[in-house]
């Protein structure tokens, strides 16, 4: 059975204040859905209300809380909340804690869902779970070789079939490198370019990756609440895998700066950013969006050649607004 995602649904959205979640919220409100948006902080709750959501203050680390009531009433749940991943060096210990904490959050959320009421749960994972796919284009049936964050996402992703078997209508979404006017793209690419600092990369041959503009990613996640098949996985990546450094090259051009790439050996990059981030740059990941497109989804930015200039433009506007 498919839901008509164009029709108003009652959505429960976790991670609504995050990088992707903010765009999912905007797309959901624009499409006429009623959104119960979860946040841990009162300040964020006010911002969510201002954007048209009904804010629910709660923490998935705790099994109890008023948020459970809102979950039980949802036609669809979109689960984006995750422990913090960026902003500091990502050591192996920090990644292990991430893994355990994420499993706890998932468990608490899934326990609160009423499968008789909720028709889809879109669980947002990441393509680092598939990791090293070699030089061929892969689809969702490929054997995963988790890299970067992937090994720390794997226990959560590999628990999903058991929840599906227990009757939860889970659709798993796997976004690739999600670029936009925030998160890692601002931290590792746009801010260094603006400040004349180098954009660090890994020495050696060009390694291809599969990017997606955050607005397309958000629209695809929302689309899957209506068109995703229960128990299936969907890559959310644009049409064109590119060498990782291509995103910084396009961004530099859009910013009108020369841009200094500095390629470091793995050990140096690991010292600078931690093992997980260094490993995220060390593998090939060319993924197909055929399955997603076969559900009727189409991209506003089919490649980063179109999408990155738009993301840069958005980021510049945000900078101006912040400085006003
Ligand atoms: N960003 C990417 O490039 C990328 C790529 C592929 C896949 N993904 C996946 O996409 C998902 C979203 O990523 P993102 O980068 O948008 O996330 P993010 O910006 O790191 O935001 C994390 C969100 O989780 C919420 N959160 C954290 N701990 C919580 C808790 N204990 N209880 C309730 N909410 C909690 C935060 O809300 P409050 O602080 O308001 O409570 C925040 O909204 C993740 O599953 C990630 O693995 C991301």
Structure tokens that stand for 311 in this block: 């993301």
pTM: 0.96
Q: Is residue 95 within 8 Å of 149, Cβ to Cβ?
A: yes
Q: Which CATH class is domain 10-184+211-239+287-301?
A: alpha beta
Ligand 1 pocket mutation, candidates 13, 16, 18, criterion most atoms within 8 A of CB: 18
CB of 259 within 6 A of ligand 1: the answer is no
**Count of CB atoms situated within 10 Å of the CB of 96:** 12
What digits encode the pLDDT tens for the residues 213-265?
999 999 999 999 999 999 999 999 999 999 999 999 999 999 999 988 899 99
What digits encode the pLDDT tens for the residues 117-161?
999 999 999 999 999 998 999 999 999 999 999 999 999 999 999
Ligand 1 pocket mutation, candidates 13, 14, 15, criterion most atoms within 8 A of CB: 15
Q: Are strands 34-39 and 10-14 parallel, antiparallel or unpaired?
A: parallel
Whole-angstrom Cα distance, residue 158 to residue 146?
12
CB of 172 within 6 A of ligand 1: the answer is no
Please state, in angstroms and as integers, the Cα–Cα distance from residue 36 to each residue in 14, 79, 229, following that order: 9, 12, 23
CB of 104 within 6 A of ligand 1: the answer is no
First to last CA, the chain: 49
CB of 124 within 6 A of ligand 1: the answer is yes
- Model confidence at 66, pLDDT cuts 50, 70, 90, reads confident
Find the 230 Cα to ligand 1 centroid distance in Å: 23
Dihedral over alpha carbons 230, 52, 32, 75 (to 10 degrees): 30
Atom of ligand 1 nearest to the CA of 153: 47
Q: Is residue 122 within 8 Å of 132, Cβ to Cβ?
A: no
Please state, in angstroms and as integers, the Cα–Cα distance from residue 294 to each residue in 78, 114, 223, 229, following that order: 21, 29, 12, 11
What residues are paired with 208 via a beta bridge?
243
DSSP summary character for residue 145? B
Atom of ligand 1 nearest to the CA of 124: 45
121 phi/psi in degrees, rounded to 5: -125, 115
Average pLDDT of the residues of the chain: 94
Calculate ∠ Cα 287-285-213, nearest 5°.
Answer: 65
């Amino acid at each position: 059975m498919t839901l008509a995602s164009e029709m108003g649904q009652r959505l429960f959205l976790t991670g609504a204040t995050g990088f992707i979640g903010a765009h999912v919220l905007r797309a959901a409100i624009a499409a006429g859905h009623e959104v119960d948006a979860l946040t841990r902080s009162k300040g964020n709750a006010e911002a969510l209300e201002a954007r048209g959501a009904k804010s629910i203050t709660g923490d998935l680390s705790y099994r109890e809380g008023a948020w459970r009531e809102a979950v039980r009433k949802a036609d669809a749940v979109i689960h984006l909340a995750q422990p913090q991943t960026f902003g500091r060096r990502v050591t192996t210990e920090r990644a292990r804690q991430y893994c355990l904490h994420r499993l706890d959050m998932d468990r608490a959320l899934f326990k609160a869902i009423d499968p008789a009421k909720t028709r889809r749960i879109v669980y947002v994972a990441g393509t680092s779970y598939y990791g090293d796919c070699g030089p061929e284009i892969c689809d969702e049936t490929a054997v995963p070789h988790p890299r970067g964050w992937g090994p720390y996402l794997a226990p959560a992703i590999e628990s999903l079939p058991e929840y599906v078997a227990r009757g939860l209508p889970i659709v798993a979404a796997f976004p690739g490198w999600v670029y936009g006017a925030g998160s890692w793209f601002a931290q590792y690419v746009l801010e260094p370019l603006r400040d004349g600092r180098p954009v660090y990369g890994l020495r050696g041959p060009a390694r291809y990756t599969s990017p997606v503009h955050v607005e397309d990613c958000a629209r695809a996640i929302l689309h899957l609440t209506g068109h995703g098949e229960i128990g299936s996985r969907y890559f959310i990546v644009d049409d064109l895998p590119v060498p990782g450094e291509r995103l910084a090259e396009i961004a530099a051009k859009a910013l009108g700066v020369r841009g200094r790439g500095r390629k470091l050996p793995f050990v140096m990059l690991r010292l600078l950013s931690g093992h997980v981030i260094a490993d995220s740059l060390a593998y090939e990941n060319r993924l197909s969006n055929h399955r997603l497109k076969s559900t009727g989804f189409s991209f506003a930015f089919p490649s980063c050649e179109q999408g990155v200039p738009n993301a840069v433009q958005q980021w510049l506007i945000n900078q101006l607004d912040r400085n006003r």
